[in-house]
Amino acid sequence: MDLRNLPPDLDSFGRVSARRSMIEQELGADLSALSIDAAKLGHAEEKNCENMFGAVPIPVGIAGPLTVTLSDGTETTVYLPLATTEGALVASVNRGCKALQIGSSLSGCGPVRTASKYHGVTRSIAFQTRNQQPVTRNLIQEHEQEWKAVGEATSSHLKILSYEIDEKDDHVFLTIAADTDEAMGMNMVTIAAQAIGEWIETSFQPHPSAGVVGGVRFITVAANVDSDKKPSKRTHDKGRGYEASAICNVPSAIIQDVLKTTPEALLATAKAKLDLGSTLASALGHNCHAANIIAALYLATGQDVAHVVEGSLADTTVIEMRNSEFGIRDLQISTRLPALMIGIRGGGTTLPAQRQCLNLLLTNNSAFRIPHSELPPCRILAEVFAAAVLAGELSLLAAQSSHTLAKAHKNLGR
């Protein structure tokens, strides 16, 4: 089948329909359920998916409200669009939101509190150096301003924030971290890294008169030190993209009335699951199911869902907070997400349905800014994601501590 040789007068919708018809005829398959409304197509066929012949609908549920105090002190209430086919997930996150929402008003400690920082989007460039690693390292450092200028010239939206140099055998790895503005930016930083790699290979060759054989050979623009779409201890420890955290005190009364468990049982489950179990498995992320919430939010808002791998490196902690005045045991739950690869421009974020979910998530504001907040939209998004993960973590811990996890999936997830 030649799915590219189509009548030139077809628009995107026509091309999608024509390809589907060709595949149905050639393979004898019924693909009618993959048909798509032209108004919902956007530019997916032109920019997001090659040989597009349809779309698979993913159910989207809503959880919330969830009130969050952002890192600049701005308080906002959000609703979470969660795209998933896993029954019980939306209900679980919704219960977590309810517990955090009611608990904040009872405890007097305020809503979920979030924080974030931007590490930049990374790419690692590999060079073979023919046993000249120290020389190459020195050259990279000495010519920093030159190769940075080469990379930054590839996009007016890119700024190199930092870099690291690693050496292994006869190879040198240059990992750059870049600010990619409001885009997630992997394509942007890859193009910059390609230009940098080519410039270094060309510029760092020895002069013939030096009598030195070889020089620097540019091997690849993506050498895995950045661990793009792969788990790594480096990403867990140092962060990548946006690092965000969320924390909240949960009163004992809410644990019992909303979460249907006890502080003692929840603490015991957290110790067994998050601490001991994760340690025995040598897990890079000590969390319950952070990837569940991140994947659902990524799908709904048009993020690159493969980056849920980095998102799964989260760490969740539960500690006891004794209220000496009333003799009540409250708990404090927190989560740290070291690597959220997110944006609000480009990629799937510009498709019609995903754009509306972003709009809904960020307080129904098409400018993607929380009123009165000075934070950039992407940092707001990262902090809201952290708060959402916190709600999901709390609810699952409660379900496991009350031994109702299997029952919930039996009732809602079959």
Q: Which of 61-75, 128-142, 241-255, 373-387 has the lowest mean pLDDT?
A: 128-142
- pLDDT-above-70 percentage for the chain: 92
Q: What is the DSSP string of 54-74?
A: ------EEEEEEEEEE-TTS-
Give the model confidence (pLDDT) of 86-121 as tens digits. 999 999 999 999 999 997 776 566 689 999 999 999
Asked about 304 being catalytic, the answer comes back as yes
Average pLDDT over the chain, rounded to an integer: 92
Stretch among 39-48, 97-106, 251-260, 339-348 having the lowest mean pLDDT: 97-106
Instruction: Output 353 or 404, whichever has higher pLDDT.
Output: 353
- Which uninterrupted H or E stretch holds 179? strand 171-179
Chain centre distance of CA 130: 37
**Contact (CB, 8 A) for 48 and 40:** no
pTM of the model: 0.94
Q: What is the mean pLDDT of residues 258-273?
A: 96
Cis peptide before 65 (omega within 30 of 0): yes
Q: List the catalytic residue out of 86, 152, 179, 198.
A: 86
- Percent of the chain topping pLDDT 90: 83
For residues 246-257, give the mean pLDDT.
Answer: 95
Residue 366 is given by DSSP the state: T
| Residues near 365 by beta carbon (within 8 Å), at least 6 away in sequence | 359, 371
pLDDT digits (tens, 9 = 90+) for 159-217: 999 999 999 999 999 999 999 999 999 999 999 999 999 999 999 986 554 444 458 99
Mean pLDDT of 226-234: 97
Instruction: Write down the catalytic residue from 143, 157, 171, 409.
Output: 409
CB distance 318 to 267 below 8 Å: yes
Distance CA 11, CA 313 (A): 42
**Cα–Cα distance for residue pair 127/105, rounded to 1 Å:** 56
Q: What is the pLDDT of residue 207?
A: 53
Q: Among 39-48, 108-117, 307-316, where is mean pLDDT lowest?
A: 108-117
User: Is 409 marked active-site?
Assistant: yes
What 8-state DSSP symbol labels residue 46?
I
Give pLDDT, residue 286.
Answer: 98
- CA 392 to CA 386: how far, in whole Å? 10
pLDDT at 61 over 60: yes
Task: Determine contact, residues 410/401, Cβ cutoff 8 Å.
Answer: no
How large is the C-alpha radius of gyration of the chain?
25
Give phi and psi for 343, each to the nearest 5: -160, 175
pLDDT of amino acid 109: 63
pLDDT per residue over 208-222, tens digit each?
544 444 589 999 999
Confidence of residue 325 (pLDDT cuts 50, 70, 90): low
| Residue 70 reports pLDDT greater than 70 | yes
Helix (H, G, I), strand (E, B) or coil at 82: strand
